[in-house]
Amino acid sequence: MNPLRLDRLNIALLAIAGLGLVSGLALLLGGQPHLATLAWTAGVAPVLAALVVEIVRSLAKGDVGLDIVAALSMSAALLVGETLAAAVVALMYSGGTFLESFAEGRARREMTDLLSRVPRTATRKRGGALEDAPLDEIEPGDLLLIRQGDIAPVDGTVENDRAMIDQSALTGESMPVRLERGQEVMSGSTNAGDVFDLRASRRATNSTYAGIVRLVEAAQQSKAPMARLADRYSLLFLAVTLALATAAWWFTGDPIRAVAVLVVATPCPLILAVPVALVAGLSRAAHFGVLIKGAKPLESLARIRTLILDKTGTLTDGRPQVVSIHTLGALTEDEVLSFAAALDQASKHPIAQAIVAAARARGAVLPLPEQIVETAGDGVTGIINGRRVVVGGAGFVASQIDAAEPEGAIRDAGSVVVALAVDGKLMGHLVMADALRAGIADLLAGLRRLGIRRILLATGDRRAVAEAVTAGLRLDAIRADLTPDEKVGVVLAERANGPVMMVGDGVNDAPALAAADIGVAMGARGAAASAEAADVVLLVDQLGRLLPGIDIAQRSRRIALESVVVGIGLSILGMVAAALGYLTPVQGALLQELIDVAVILNALRALRIVPEQAGRPASAAAEASSG
C-alpha cells in the first residue's frame, strides 16, 4: 500500500478506536452499560478487521508474526464480554501502529532530507544569455551559474578563482569548504558564498547526488538479519503466549485470565524495536557522511573483526605529492619549486599539477610560461621570466641540456623524481610520492579500539613500495603484487577468522568489495563500479569516516538488542502476573502500552548517537581547505 494511504488508514483507525473507547466510557458513566458495550464493540471492529486483513496478507507471503496475538486478544475479549478490555487493546494496537509509523518516519528523516534536496533545473550559460534547463538536459562541458544558496545540480569544477561550498547535507561537516579554480564540486552541495560558475563534468544521472539517491532508496527497502531473527523469535513468543493463556484457563477454569494473558502479550518490542533502532542508525550514519545501503549491512558493520585496506586512493591520497626537494645549483628549494611549477602550469599531467599545487600551497606567485613545448610523458620546455627552463624526467632533462644523466638516482621505493634545468644547467630534483593520508596511524588505533582485531593491506603495487608506504603502521599483514582476483582470495581466506570489511576506491577493487562481508567505497561517484559493489559508501574522500560509521552501527545494534530483551522480559513478567490473577485484562492492556512506548522511545535513542570520533578528520580537512 502507498505509504501516504497507509498513514491515513492508521490515523483513521486510531481515531475510531479512540472515539469508541471514550464514547463507551461516557455512556457507562451515564448509566447506559448496554450502549457502552455497543460503542466499544463498534470501536474495536474496524481495527480488528484491518488487522485480520494484514495477517492474511502476511500469511500469504509466508510471514507469521505477533500481530496474531493482538487479533486473538481482541477476539477473545469480545467473546467473553470484556468489551472494555477489547476497546483498550484496539486503541493501544492502533496507537502502537501509528507510533511505529511516526518513529520510522523520524528515523528516516536524515535520508529523506537528502532525497528532498534534488534540484529539478539548472541555470545554464549559453550564447551569452542565461536559461533554465531541465536537469536531464545538462551535458558535460556546460557552464552553469550557481547563485548563493543554490544546490549544485551536477558534479563539476569551479570556473572562478574560488568558491565557498557547504557540504553539510552530504557529509555532516558543518564548516564550509573553500575550493579553488579547477577543484571539484559534488552535486548536492550548497553555495555558501558568492555566485560562481560551475563547469559540468558529468550528466545528472551519473553524478554524486544521483548515486546517493539510488543508494538511499535501496537502503530503505532492506531488512536486517536481526529483524529476521526477531521474526523467528516471534514464533517462539507466540507459542509461549498461547501455552500460558491455555494453562491459565485450564487450571483455573476462568477464561478471563486467558484473555488477560493475551492482552498483556504484545508484538511491539520485537516488531518495532529492531527496525526503528536500525533505521535510526542508518539515518544517523548518513548525517556523518557514511551512507550504509540498508539495515543488513549496518548490522554486519557492527560485527566486523577484520579490515582489509587497498593502498592507492584509500590508505594514500592517490595523488602524487612533493615529499622532498634537492638543490644542485644556486637556487633555493622554494625557487626550484617555483620554476618547475611555473612551467608545469602548461601541462595537465597529474605530476605537473601536483607540483603546481605544492607551489601555490607555499604562497608562490607563478608567472605565465612562454614558448611552451610539451613532450607527452617526458617533460616540458619553455621560457620563464626570460630564462629557458626544462622540467621532466631525469633522462629527458639531461637530453635537453646536452648533459649526461646523473648517477645515483634520488628516490625511495614508489617515488618519482622530477628534474629541473635552468639556462642549460641542472638545478635540482623534486621527489614525488603517493603519501599516506594524514592521521592514518590514529585512525587504525581507533579502529582497533572498536574491536577490529586484524588490519591488512592488499595492493597491486610491489612489496617494496607497500612496505615503504606503511612503515610504522603496525599492520598485521601486507599482501602485495595482487591481481583483482587475488584480492578476492585474500578476502575469502580472512573470512575464516570472522566478518571481514574491505575498503577500496577503484574499479579493480569492486570484486573484493563484493566478496567481503562489508565492502566500503571511498566517495559516492554515481557510476563508479566500487560504489555499486560496496555495502557502505563514504560520501567524502576521508577514510576517517569509518570510525563514526562503525561506532554508530555498533551502538544502534546494541540499542536494538536492549529494547528486545527488556521489552520481551517485561511482557513475560506481565503475562505471568495475569495468569496468576494479579492483572485484569484492562490493567494488562494499559501495562503493555507503557512497555511499548518505553521500547520505542529507547529504540529512538539511536538518533542521538554522537560518535566519539565524529568529524575529527573532516574538521581538520575543512580547516586546511578554508585556510
The catalytic site residues sit at 310
Q: What is the C-alpha end-to-end distance of the chain, expressed in Å?
A: 52
Question: One-letter amino acid identity for 136?
Answer: D
**Rounded CA separation 133/391 (Å):** 44
CB crowding 381-405: b at 16 or more within 10 Å, else e = bbebeeeebbbbbbebbbbbeeeee
Beta-carbon contacts of 313 under 8 Å, excluding residues fewer than 6 positions away, are 504, 505, 506, 522
Q: Grid coordinates 516471534 are at which residue?
A: 234
In this structure, are residues 557 and 606 in contact, taking their beta carbons and an 8 Å threshold? no
**Rounded CA separation 600/280 (Å):** 11
Beta-carbon contacts of 622 under 8 Å, excluding residues fewer than 6 positions away, are 173, 175, 176, 177
**Rounded CA separation 36/43 (Å):** 11
- Report how many helices (DSSP H) and strands (DSSP E) the chain contains, helices first: 23, 22
**Rounded CA separation 344/366 (Å):** 10
**Rounded CA separation 275/97 (Å):** 13
Say if residue 36 is exposed, middle or buried (CB neighbours under 10 Å; 0-12, 13-18, 19+): buried
Can you name the residues that pair with 348 across neighbouring β-strands?
A: none
Element housing 290 (H / E):
strand 290-292
Phi, psi values for residue 495, rounded to 5° = -65, -20
Beta-carbon contacts of 20 under 8 Å, excluding residues fewer than 6 positions away, are 39, 40, 41, 42, 43, 44, 87, 90
**Rounded CA separation 323/436 (Å):** 11
DSSP structure string for 180-220: ETT-EE-TT-EE-SS-EEEEE-S-GGGSHHHHHHHHHHHHT
Kindly list the strands in the beta sheet with 290-292, ordered across the sheet, starting from the edge strand earlier in the chain: 290-292, 536-538, 518-522, 500-504, 306-309, 454-458, 477-479
Tally of CB atoms within 10 A around 42: 17
In this structure, are residues 226 and 299 in contact, taking their beta carbons and an 8 Å threshold? yes
Strands 143-146 and 196-200: antiparallel
Beta-carbon contacts of 167 under 8 Å, excluding residues fewer than 6 positions away, are 173, 176, 177, 186, 189, 190, 540
Strands 500-504 and 518-522: parallel
Cα three-residue angle 230-233-234, rounded to 5 degrees: 85
Can you tell me whether residue 302 is helix, strand or coil? coil
- Take residue 515 and report the three cell numbers written for it: 566478496
Q: Count Cα atoms within 13 angstroms, Cβ side, for 26.
A: 7
